[in-house]
Amino acid sequence: MNARTLMVQGTASSVGKSLIVAAFCRILRNCGVSVAPFKAQNMALNSFVTPDGFEIGRAQAVQAEAAGIPPAVEMNPILLKPEPGMRSQVVVMGRPVASMSFRDYHAMRPELVRVIHDALARLRAAHDFVVIEGAGSPAEINLRSQDLVNMHVARVADAPVVLVGDIDRGGVFAQFVGTLDLLEPPDRGRVAAFLINKFRGDATLLGPGIEYLEERFGTPMLGVAPFIADLKIADEDSVALENRRGRRAANGDLDIAVIQLPHISNYDDFLPLEHERGVCVRFVRRGDEIGAPDLLIIPGTKSTVADLAWMRASGLADAVVARARRREPVIGICGGCQMLGRRIEDPYGVEAAVESAPALGLLPIATRFAREKRTAQVRARAIAPSVFTGMSPEDIGEISGYEIHMGGIERDADAAPCFEILRRNSVAVNAADGAVADRAGAVAGTMIHGIFDNDRLRARMLAWLGSRRGDAAPAFKSSFSRDAEYDRLASVVRENINWPLFERIAGLA
């Protein structure tokens, strides 16, 4: 069976393509259609691990969840993870190939074309429908000959295109007109409809602009999707972090500060904390922004050594060390855990030109980068008192998460790990994870992403943080489910599009 297709492209980056694809996936799933997402090439530092241990962009994992299916590597066959020096780690079919410049990457195009075609064909054979996401804009003239992800894929899939524009930034009609004018006529003919996204206000005021577009190009407006406030769905674009800077905790709220590293990765780790009532999560970039939070977090990073040097230059490293010496809670996740250790060794030049660099010296561990990347979904249990478990690892039960890292950590002989990993990709193991600084447990690290998605662990940690400042331990428990958020997103989008037009474009009528 060759599944039907629909492609979502945008007039620019960050117009909301990923969420529109997630909405379309949930809408079709709710209609009883077997649907899967697809993005040929994704550039992002937020990634995820499939159940069989392959790395893909976080956005495609979110879209798969909206579609009600497990994420698969075919949904994102090429992932580019930016690195310092205008280079990227190139991940092909879930495995890192090399770190390379754009010119080197472009030389791989013939091979990558075959990878993309094969992955899309396997998805189309397994499902009734595939919703395809583009990247950036299809009208970048300088990149047209190297296109792998926009109109090239639309032609291969023979997919009608819904062109999305972000009105929240202003100039949405100019975006649409400019994009279509710059497309080659055959590609322009693939644009089946416009979609205005992130609108705040009375949509009837857009009438003259919509009429102009439809008359000039003969292309209908599919709808006007409103800005959806407080949508609790992971956003892959780091632009979203800028909207979370400058927050201040209200009186009585727990204050959690996350260091916004230049190459921060998997910052969706902190969404479960952000969604808790009575908790403020804010991102900081200078030492004087830290203040006196209840918890300071060093997150994951694609470039541990470079970001550690940035922390030292910005004064953040000194602030972290001073806080840890006062035994005020500090945790590190993945790259953040590595930074908290004694040293970082890179004998193979995996991340940096330096073979060895001192870390912050707060955890009794050393990191040694390896040539092979570990990507695994894991099940684990807490085994040591630490800030993660509110100093009480008992009754937490098994937790889930995932690992994505090039380096392994070695603990000092007498160092206590935070967790014991029980399974990797469903295979039984017995592996220690992370470390605590001492019996006080206020400084700790783990290599497991997604740790705060575990409700009992998260609630225990937040209650302990509250008790440290003399508060009565509140009953932290999130009142949301991602499944309900996908339904909310789908409902809002469906209510604000021309449904009969969508059915005709998608071939559902």
Structure tokens at 229: 């406030």
Cα–Cα dist 322/165, whole Å: 46
Give the residue among 100, 117, 128, 99 at the shortest CA–CA distance from 41: 117
> What SS3 state is found at 33?
coil
Long-range CB pairs of 429-435 (<8 Å, 24+ gap) are: 433/380, 434/337, 434/409, 435/337, 435/341, 435/363, 435/364, 435/365, 435/409, 435/411
> What SS3 state is found at 311?
helix
User: Does residue 127 have an active-site annotation?
Assistant: no
Structure tokens at 501: 């037009």
DSSP codes joined into one string, 154-182: HHHHT--EEEEEEGGGS-HHHHHHHHHHH
Q: Which of 280, 334, 337, 418 is catalytic?
A: 334
Single-letter amino acid, residue 301: T
Give the residue among 401, 453, 439 at the shortest CA–CA distance from 422: 401
Burial letters 166-196, b for 16+ CB under 10 A, else e: bbeeeebbebbbebbeebeeebbebbbbbbb
User: Does residue 25 have an active-site annotation?
Assistant: no
H or E, element range at 482: helix 482-495
Torsion 116-118-119-120 (CA) sign: positive
DSSP codes joined into one string, 339-403: HTSSEEE-TT-SS-S-SEEE----SSEEEEEEEEEEEEEEEEEE-S--GGGTT--TT---EEEEE
Active site residues: 334, 449
